[in-house]
Amino acid sequence: PIQPTTGNRNYNNQRDLESKLFQWQCPRCTFLNDDSSDTCEMCSCEKGS
């Protein structure tokens, strides 16, 4: 199989980091939600409550 190059790994790490930066943790169930969501995908708790 073709191994990823160092550049691809850096890109994937950067993308993973960015996805974690733009998330919020639900105070009720601790699920990490996308920053654009106003309610938790798992328990429907409102963002910021």
Query: pLDDT digits over 1-49, tens only?
Result: 665 555 555 656 776 766 668 999 999 999 999 999 999 999 999 998 8
User: What pTM value is reported for the model?
Assistant: 0.58
Question: What would the two tokens of residue 30 be?
Answer: 């601790």
If DSSP codes are grouped into helix, strand and coil, which group holds residue 32? strand
According to the model, what pLDDT value does residue 21 have?
Answer: 80
Query: Contact 32/24 with Cβ under 8 angstroms?
Result: yes
How would you class 22 by CB atoms within 10 Å of its CB: exposed for 0-12, middle for 13-18, buried for 19 or more?
Answer: exposed
According to the model, what pLDDT value does residue 11 have?
Answer: 56
Residue pointed to by tokens 């890109």: 11
According to the model, what pLDDT value does residue 13 have?
Answer: 75
